[in-house]
Structures are given as structure tokens and as C-alpha cells.
Amino acid sequence: METIRLTVAQAIVRFLCQQYTQRDGQERRLFAGMFGIFGHGNVTGLGQALDEGGHDLRYYRAQNEQAMVHTAVAYAKMKNRLQTFACTSSVGPGATNMVTGAAGATINRLPVLLLPGDIFASRLPHPVLQQLEHPSSQDVSVNDCFRPVSRYWDRINRPEQLLSSLPEAMRVLTDQAETGAVTIALPEDVQTEAYDFPSSFFTKRVYAIPRNLPGSDELNAAATLLMSAKRPLIIAGGGVIYSEASAALAAFAEAFGIPVCESQAGKGALPWDHAWNAGPVGANGGLAANRLAAQADVIVAVGTRLGDFVTASHSAFQADDVRFIALNVTSTDAFKFGALPLVGDARAGLTAVSDALAALGRQPEPSYAEEVQSLVVEWNQAVDLQRRVQRPEALTQANVIGLVNEFSRPGDVVVCAAGGLPGDLLKLWRACEPKGYHVEYGYSCMGYEIAGGLGVKMADPEREVYIMVGDGSYLMMHTEILTALQEHLKITIVLLDNNGFQCIRGLQMDAGAPAFGNELRYRDEHSGRLEGPFIPIDFAKNAESLGATTYTATNETELRAALKRAAGESGTTLIYVPVDSEARVPGYESWWDVPVAEVSTKQGVQAARDAYVRAREKQRYYYASEEP
Ligand SMILES: Cc1ncc(C[n+]2csc(CCOP(=O)(O)OP(=O)(O)O)c2C)c(N)n1
Ligand SMILES: [Mg+2]
């Protein structure tokens, strides 16, 4: 057997360069490169290997390990899970900084390969710098924290273990149902140890990404159920976009007269003005979709994990005998709510159900079509109203969303993740195409915005990337502005400053408590509480110090002008926009389950509890086991 003597780290680099995916005849490198931050736990291992053999695996230096995972994951999302990055970190804090990013990847079902450094397998110098010693086991390190947030986890204690571990890691990364964070912990001594690897280990490997079909019995049952449906409704999730199933979805909706509503991850699956797009559904949904959902008799959930925002915490669907059909690559999702499970690819599945339904002769029902249309007209007017609302003090968040949306072109991307913005964007942003709306709302991780926006730009440099970020998220993590500078990549950041964590302050007050601890205020010396004046921050100066061009916009004219100038810039821009912290976009006949204290001495809390208990009466347990 022909062998080649390499260190573990050298073997990993060489192996990663040879991994490809292929779908619909198109082949792509699985790894676009490797992100990293070096320390003693990886610089002489993977660092050395990247120098010696990494010309084919570009190295990107990030500012923060959590951020680099967000960047990698955003890239993978833009690439429909067919390409991603590897991320290398040092041992200890560098490694655990990636845990949050890993959880975000796994929740969103997006692939990323994490290679944290680990403590010496030999144990000879223990405890090594940054080692957490476990009192009852020497077989535990902080990297065990990755186990519950990873879809595959391994630790390489002997070089030859790579031969079995890496292929498994690739299988999971490329499996559309299983994918998420994959973690391979690499003890720092083992990274540098050599082994005679079989040369065949480093030959090119192409992973075919199949378009699996659901079982034919289930497909027929789904068609039969849909034949009898008077008020069917499709929920489009991220799976529609990852599967590139937009055309199949549009054809399905049109052929049978079934409205489509959207989740955060599915927004853009159909253009906002498609005749059958009823807009967003659920807790942050709009009028049209929420009214349709309340009365729907058959829900067709495609590529969605039916999170609580989509289902309005199980209160969105109120028809007595509402049934679910769930088409998903992941069986966990296909079986939720007692659904008729269609385990398979969204595009292949939609086409197959469509064929079965056409054979049964389903026709669109004109009266339902009319009802959908008039609801959509009403909803579009509500959106216009919010976007144009006038407040004397400052622009509202809704105004800013409207203005950025109007200014951006169809191929541009809006990026967001946490705070009040995602909900308002879901309601008010008009997405033109599947890749134009990128909101991470699986983990809704503050700090994803700028790091993720960078990944979006890396995935498609032709697009303008508009990152909309709240002041709280910005303060949590913004230093990847520097990485954008380093890589000569342009991102446009629109920072909406409302003096703190206003969406959480809103939740707090809705639960009957006085507002405290969410705004950015000095501690008052007399009361001892955080109720002094607001702490002024010069966000523009902050971004400028990292190399961004900055503008401040306090009204519509200034914001339009700033957007225009930002579009003309070649580098990163931050537009600072103070917004009215009291202006809120309302909810539209929906609810989100956030618990309220059962006992309290405060009347406000007692009243909120009563309202909460009443609201919870709409919460349903969906489980239908009998056949249609
Ligand atoms: C990492 C992380 N920590 C905490 C939270 C909980 N959280 C959600 S939104 C939010 C406040 C965000 O503030 P900002 O970005 O200013 O947005 P705003 O609420 O003002 O719209 C917090 C603390 C979170 N989503 N992510
Ligand atoms: Mg804020």
C-alpha cells in the first residue's frame, strides 16, 4: 500500500482540499477555506500545516472565534448547505468561544467543521495552560461542551483515528438531514504527530447530495388529504430555499390554488408580490397569513421545523380537525404535530405530491383565491402604513426598514439576527428572491449580524449586503468589521440605536413589570438602580476607528443620502440611525408564549398573568394519528 508520512494536521489540510459536493450535476468544493485564531493549541499543528500545504485552502484570520463560526455558517446558508468553512481554534477559551456558533449552526441545520485544539493526549505536561481539570476524570476537557451542540463529535487521540473520523465527519456535514456543527477536537501534541497515511485517503471525494423522494404510500395519502381540503395552507420554511424549490413551490400553489405563508428562514421562497404569497405567519406574522392559518383545515409544512414563532406557540391553527402534512429531509420535523410525514427533499417532494394531486384532478377554488387576494391586499396596505408612519421625535424602525428596502436592488441581501428587528423585518421587508433575506432566527444570536453579513458577502461578492443591527447586538460583537477590511470586502451596516435592549424591555413591561435593566443607562447613585441618564455612545466613531466610512442619518432625507453614498463606497460603511424607542410595529392577531409570574404582590403583574392565562386557552395540542 502506498503511504505518505504526514502529521495529523497536515493530513487534515490535505484531506479537506479533496472534498466536494455535487447536486444537480454541479460540483463544488465543500470547504471554501479555513477560518482561525491561533494559540499554543493550534499554531504549531494546524498553523504549521496550513503554511506547508495550505495553498489550496485559504486561511482567514478572524477577530473572535464565535464570530468566525457565524461567518462560516452564513456562508453555508448562502450556499444552500453545499459549501462551508472549517474553523480552527486554540485550546481552552478559543475553543469554547466556538460553542455558541456551533449551537447556532446545529439549530439552523447548517454545516460547519470545527477543529478546536485540545489538551495533550500524552498528559505529560498537565495541567497545560488553559486546561480545566476535572476532579474525577482525565478524559474530559472543555471540548466536551461541544457534544450536545454538535451533530458529530470526536477527539483524535492517535493519528490513525483520522482514517475513520474524517469520513464520518464528511458524511454528516453533507447529509441534508443530519447536517450541523461537526466537531473534531485535536489534542495539541497529536496535531504534530506523524503517521504513514494511505495515499488513497487523499484522493478526490465527491459527495452526491440526493433529492430523496418520500414514500409513495405517504405521497398518495397526502394527495388524498389535500383533495378533501377546503382551506389548505402551505408554510414555506428554509428547506424550500436550501433545496432550490421555489419554482416547484410556485407551480404547486398556482396549480391547486393553495396560498403560501412564510417563516423567517423561508421568507423569499416566493417573491413578496407572487399572487399566492400570503406573507409571514405566526407570532411575527401578518394579517393575511394569520387569518388563513386560524381557519386552515390542512397545513402543508415544507422545510420548516415549526418553531414557536411560526406556530404562534401552538395557537396559530384553530380549526377543529386541522391536519398537517410535513415535507422535510429530517424525519424529526416530518413527524411533528402528528403530521402525515413526507420524509424527503422539498423540490422532489413538492413535484411528486403535485403529480399525485393532478392525477386526482384537484382544481383551484375561485372563492378561496378571491379571499386570499383580498386578505393580501389588506396586508400590503398595513405594511405600507407601518413603513410610512410619522413620529415627531425620530425615524421609526419601520421607517428605516422601508427606506433600506426601497433603496436596495433585487439582488441585494438584508442580514439580521436578534432584537426587535427580525420580527419587524419579517413583517415589513419585501423580499424579491430566495437569497435576498438572510435572518438567523433559529438561535437568534446577538452578534451574528456583522459576522454573518461578512459570510454572506464572501459567498456572493456581487451582491450588496445590508446588515441591519440593533445597538445592543452591535455592542456585543462588531469587530469583524476588521475582517471585512482585511479581506477587501464591502458590507453596509445600518445601526438602529434605540438606547438598549428595547424588545426585551417591551416583553418585560408586557408582563406587568416596570422597565429595568434593559436600557443603557448610568447607575443612579441615590436609588442604586440603572435609571440614570442614557450613556451616550459615539457609534460612528467606534466604527470609524475600525476602518469603516460612517454616516449619521436622523431623518428620511439623510438616510436616503447616506444609503446612496454608501452604495458608491468601495469599502465598509456604517450608517448610524437613532430611532424612536417607543414606536413599535404591532402584532397582527397573534401571540407568543412568554410566561408571566403566577403570584406577585404587584397589580400590573397580576393583570398580565390573567391576560396570559386567557391567551393560553388558544394553545392547542396538535396530534392526529388516524388516517384521513
Ligand atoms: C447572545 C444573546 N444574548 C441574549 C439574547 C436575548 N436578547 C434578545 S434580543 C436582546 C436585545 C437586543 O438589543 P438590540 O440589538 O439593541 O435590539 P432591540 O431589542 O433594541 O431591538 C436580547 C438581550 C440573545 N438573543 N442573544
Ligand atoms: Mg436596541
Q: What is the pLDDT of residues 174-210, one digit of tens each?
A: 999 999 999 999 999 999 999 999 999 999 999 999 9
Q: Cell 442604586 belongs to which residue?
A: 528
Give the residue, out of 107, 428, 446, with the most ligand 1 atoms within 8 A of its beta carbon, to mutate for a pocket test: 446
Specify the pLDDT at position 628: 44
- pLDDT average, residue stretch 276-282: 98
Tell me how far apart the 2 most distant CA atoms of the chain are, in Å: 79
Q: What are phi and psi of 250, to 5 degrees?
A: -60, -45
CA atoms within 13 Å, Cβ hemisphere of 568: 6
Question: Model confidence over 17-40: pLDDT tens digits?
Answer: 999 999 999 999 999 999 999 999
Ligand 1 within 6 A of CB of 422? no
Cβ atoms of residues 106 and 149 within 8 Å:
yes
Specify the pLDDT at position 479: 98
Distance of CA 99 to the CA centre of its chain: 16
For the cut 90, the answer to whether the pLDDT of residue 407 exceeds it is yes
What grid cell was written down for 258?
393553495
For the cut 90, the answer to whether the pLDDT of residue 627 exceeds it is no
Which residue(s) pair with 439 in the sheet?
416
For the cut 70, the answer to whether the pLDDT of residue 626 exceeds it is no
Beta-strand (E) ranges in 108-177? 112-118, 152-155
- pLDDT average, residue stretch 144-166: 98
For the cut 80, the answer to whether the pLDDT of residue 422 exceeds it is yes
Q: CB-based burial of residue 174 (10 Å sphere; 0-12 exposed, 13-18 middle, 19+ buried)?
A: buried
Q: What angle do CA 57, 63, 68 make, to 5 degrees?
A: 55
84-89 vs 59-61, strand pairing mode: unpaired
Cα dist. 628→174, 233, 337 in Å? 35, 17, 15
Give the ligand at the shortest distance from the Cα of 585.
1
Ligand 1 within 6 A of CB of 470? yes
- What residues have CB less than 8 Å from 573, skipping those under 6 apart? 490, 491, 492, 493, 548, 549, 550, 551, 565, 566
How far apart are the CA of 504 and the centre of ligand 2, in A? Answer: 9
How far apart are the CA of 607 and the centre of ligand 2, in A? Answer: 27
Question: Model confidence over 98-142: pLDDT tens digits?
Answer: 999 999 999 999 999 999 999 999 999 999 999 999 999 999 999
For the cut 60, the answer to whether the pLDDT of residue 625 exceeds it is no
Specify the pLDDT at position 55: 85
Specify the pLDDT at position 71: 98
How far apart are the CA of 347 and the centre of ligand 2, in A? Answer: 39
Give the residue, out of 504, 576, 581, with the most ligand 1 atoms within 8 A of its beta carbon, to mutate for a pocket test: 504
Q: What is the pTM of this model?
A: 0.98
How far apart are the CA of 534 and the centre of ligand 1, in A? Answer: 18
- pLDDT average, residue stretch 417-426: 98
Nearest of 510, 507, 431, 501 to residue 470 by alpha carbon: 501
Mean pLDDT, the chain, rounded, equals 97
Helix (H, G, I), strand (E, B) or coil at 468: strand
Note the helical H segments in 388-501: 397-407, 421-428, 448-459, 471-476, 481-486
84-89 vs 112-118, strand pairing mode: parallel
- pLDDT average, residue stretch 332-354: 97
Residue nearest to atom 9 of ligand 1 (CA): 419
Nearest-atom number in ligand 1 for the CA of 503 is 19
For the cut 70, the answer to whether the pLDDT of residue 624 exceeds it is no
Question: Model confidence over 518-561: pLDDT tens digits?
Answer: 999 999 999 999 999 999 999 999 999 999 999 999 999 999 99
Q: Cell 489534542 belongs to which residue?
A: 187
Q: Please, which pLDDT band fits residue 445 given cuts at 50, 70 and 90?
A: very high
**How are strands ordered across the β-sheet holding 260-262?**
277-280, 260-262, 232-236, 298-302, 323-328, 340-343
In this structure, the number of other CB atoms found within 10 A of the CB of residue 133 comes to 12
How far apart are the CA of 501 and the centre of ligand 1, in A? Answer: 6
- What residues have CB less than 8 Å from 340, skipping those under 6 apart? 218, 221, 222, 225, 323, 324, 325, 326, 628
For the cut 60, the answer to whether the pLDDT of residue 215 exceeds it is yes
Ligand 1 within 6 A of CB of 421? yes
Nearest-atom number in ligand 1 for the CA of 496 is 16
**How are strands ordered across the β-sheet holding 59-61?**
59-61, 31-36, 84-89, 112-118, 181-187, 152-155
In this structure, the number of other CB atoms found within 10 A of the CB of residue 540 comes to 17
Specify the pLDDT at position 178: 97
Specify the pLDDT at position 492: 98
Ligand 1 within 6 A of CB of 471? yes
Helix (H, G, I), strand (E, B) or coil at 342: strand
Ligand 1 within 6 A of CB of 504? yes
